[in-house]
Structure 1
Amino acid sequence: MTVELSPDDATDPGLSPLRNFGNEVMLERTRMNMSRVELGRAVACGESLVAKIERGDRVPQREFAEGCDQVFPHGNGRFMRLWRLALRYAYPPWFWPYVALEKKATGLRMFNPVVAPGIVQTRSYATAILKEGRPKGLEDLVTARLERQQILQREEPTGLWLVLHERVLRNVVGSEEIMREQLLRLLQIAETSTHRVQIIRDEGRYRGPVGAAPFVLMSFEEGADVVHVDGFPRGYVLAEQDEVADAEDAYDLLRALAMPLEESAELINSVLKECYS
């Protein structure tokens, strides 16, 4: 027999956004005399996941929130609004400013010499990458990372320009099947009219800023560009005009060193067939 705890007091100001989301789900579900099994069936997930979400132990996926707004008669978009707040709990606090900027950006120019950036990672690739750090809440981190990709799918998508080193294509993350899926994803991005993908060939020698840390230049409809640089244990944002100008010069050089767009796509396809078919 499953024991269900009573919902927390929804007026408690100490509830986190994540716990508040779960509490609202439990309130609506019990109001409708619906079991967790029934709710899970309605929103395409298991009973155990519903229980974890109600306890505030898991960050729900977008589809769960959308499903709740459809299942509960008085949802009226409330669960999507609560979900956007709850999602913040899946990110480290230091990463919140970057996510907010990324969501507002009209253009992203990214460089990575080692792995595919999170903004284009498949679920299995993201899981394999994040798992290496043995984090707490792995599934929540994956959910949050994939949610960031919504900016590439909205009605007016953020324009993406990727410059990647060839090692990104050949460094096996997880398994050959995971790599096959990820390279197909890169090809899809490369063939989308609003996005660009360029590859820097691995010629076995140092070339200009190729040894630089991963970074992204973010452009906006209003306001100056900013730069985010990946680092350990955390990344950081640069907004000073001189620093942004240096990053733009570095990115221009990287694009000049990279293969043309069509040749880059051909290389991705070639590595896909050679290594992961």
Structure 2
Amino acid sequence: MTVENETAESTDPAVSPLAHFGAEVRLERERLDISRAELGKAACCSYSLVAKIEAGRRVPPLDFAEACDQMFPHSNGRFARLWPLALRWAFPPWFRRYVELEWTATAISMFHPQLVPGLVQTEEYARAVLRTGRPSNLEDLVTARMERQRVLAREVPTRLWIILDEGVLRRPIGGKHVMREQLKQLRALAETPRHVIQVIPKTIAAYPGSGSPFGLLSFSEGSDVVHVDGFPKGYVLADPDDVAAAYDAYDLLKATALPPDESASEIGSILKECYS
């Protein structure tokens, strides 16, 4: 994870929300004389993961925070309330604002010419993509990416519209097994009435915005924004002219891509052709 003060002692609760979360878990666990093994069993995780979370060296999944609230009778939901702050620390500072916006968005439209967007990646696909950067905190990054996907599991999930270049489906990230599971997940999303996935076929040589992944976020209150994915940093644009230009580009991408039903069939065909 990106930490603003990497020279500070990670076990100091004042260093970060992540360290504070871990210290609170340890204090409550020791006060109740609960072993790490017992907490790990309740949270369906290993002893070593409990130790790393307590030391502020691993990002806790929400399931872990909820297990703490169940194990510690007087927590009154404290760990579930602390969890968003701890999770936020797992993201680079420049990405944290976007994650906050993503969490409150009612609809997200995304275009990517190279990769499956993180919001719909399987865990193994995400691990294969993130591993290419050779990070020292790979599992934290994977956990954080998977936890973002809770917006799709809510009672009223965020609506998705995703446009992908066909090459994304054929690029063998992580090998056949990883791609098979990823395309199965994409096909399931494409067949869900609430969501739309469109594929730009390889026969289309050029199309609007082909060089830059971007997304549009809409909210129940407030103006839409654009997120441009880039290296080394992405950025969010809220200027109305930028948002309008992004919508114009996205409309052209919709017109260029295969219709939703044909796109779902195309995902199934590529799944059978390349990864069966």
TM-score (structure 1 length as normaliser): 0.93
Deviations 1:31-77 (A, max 9, x none): 11111112111211111111101100101111111111111111211
Q: In angstroms, what is the RMSD of aligned CA positions?
A: 1.5
Report which stretch shifted further, 27-36 or 264-273: 27-36
| Distance in 1, Cα, partners of 2:74 & 2:191 | 42
Correspondence 1:27-106 to 2 at 5 A: 27-106=27-106
Correspondence 1:36-185 to 2 at 5 A: 36-185=36-185
Q: Which amino acid letter does the alignment assign opposite residue 78 of structure 1?
A: R
Deviations 1:129-157 (A, max 9, x none): 00001113111111111111111111111
Structure 1 runs of 4+ off > 6 angstroms? none
3-state SS of 1:185 partner: helix
Q: Which amino acid letter does the alignment assign opposite residue 97 of structure 1?
A: R
TM-score (structure 2 length as normaliser): 0.93
3-state SS of 1:91 partner: coil
Q: Which runs of 5+ in 1 are unaligned?
A: 1-7
Q: Which residue of 2 aligns with 1:3?
A: none
3-state SS of 1:90 partner: coil
Shift of residue 28, structure 1, vs aligned partner: 1.2
Q: Which residue of 2 aligns with 1:4?
A: none
Shift of residue 23, structure 1, vs aligned partner: 0.8
3-state SS of 2:208 partner: helix
| Distance in 1, Cα, partners of 2:42 & 2:104 | 33
Shift of residue 210, structure 1, vs aligned partner: 4.9
Deviations 1:71-100 (A, max 9, x none): 111121111111111111110000011011
Q: Which residue of 1 aligns with 2:211?
A: 212
Between the two proteins, the alignment pairs up a number of residues equal to 267
Shift of residue 14, structure 1, vs aligned partner: 2.4
Matching of residue 247 in structure 1 with residue 227 in structure 2: no
3-state SS of 1:143 partner: helix
Q: Which residue of 2 aligns with 1:14?
A: 14
Q: Which amino acid letter does the alignment assign opposite residue 209 of structure 1?
A: P
8 Å Cα contact 2:13-2:23 kept in structure 1: no
Q: Which residue of 1 aligns with 2:231?
A: 232
Shift of residue 13, structure 1, vs aligned partner: 7.2
Q: Which amino acid letter does the alignment assign opposite residue 183 of structure 1?
A: L
Q: Which residue of 1 aligns with 2:273?
A: 274
Q: Which amino acid letter does the alignment assign opposite residue 94 of structure 1?
A: W
3-state SS of 1:209 partner: coil
Q: Which amino acid letter does the alignment assign opposite residue 42 of structure 1?
A: A
Taking only the aligned residue pairs, the percentage that are identical comes to 60
Deviations 1:153-173 (A, max 9, x none): 111111100010100100010
Q: Which amino acid letter does the alignment assign opposite residue 172 of structure 1?
A: P
Q: Which amino acid letter does the alignment assign opposite residue 154 of structure 1?
A: R
Q: Which amino acid letter does the alignment assign opposite residue 255 of structure 1?
A: K
Shift of residue 222, structure 1, vs aligned partner: 1.5
3-state SS of 1:208 partner: coil
| Distance in 2, Cα, partners of 1:225 & 1:19 | 34
